[in-house]
Amino acid sequence: QVQLVESGGGLVQAGASLRLSCAASGRTFRGYYMGWFRQVPGKEREFVSAISWSDAITDYAYSVKGRFTVYRDNAKNTVYLQMNSLQPAGTDVYYCAATIGRVARSAGDFGSWGQGTQVTVSS
C-alpha cells in the first residue's frame, strides 16, 4: 500500500483558487492511478478527478470540468488538484486516493486513502 498525505486546503471566498497536493510514500509511485474525491458528513464520497501514471488519462466530474485541473509530478511522488472558481457548494473534505491496474471512478476501487484536507468556500 502507498501512504498518502493531502495538504493545501483552507478557507477561501467564492471565486478564489486553491491547489491541493497529495504526497505519496511507502512504495513506488509508478503505475498508480490517482484520484481525488470529496465528502461532506453523512454523504458518500464523490468522485472529483483522476489521473493515470503517464498523464495519458485525466478524468473529471461534470461539476468541476473546466474549473479543476489534475496533474502529477512523478519525480516528487505528488499529485495536485488545481481548483479555480471555487463555489460554496465545493465546501467538503477532499481526499486523495490510489489504485493500480485500473481506471476508476468508484471509491470502492481505490485501496489507499489519505486523511483528507478541508476546503471551505464562503459566499
Between 54 and 69, residue with greater pLDDT: 69
Q: pLDDT tens across 12-67, in order? A: 999 999 999 999 998 777 889 999 999 988 899 999 999 998 888 999 999 999 99
Task: State yes or no: pLDDT of 79 exceeds 80.
Answer: yes
Cα separation, 107 vs 97, whole angstroms: 8
pLDDT value, residue 54: 86
State the chain's mean pLDDT as an integer: 94
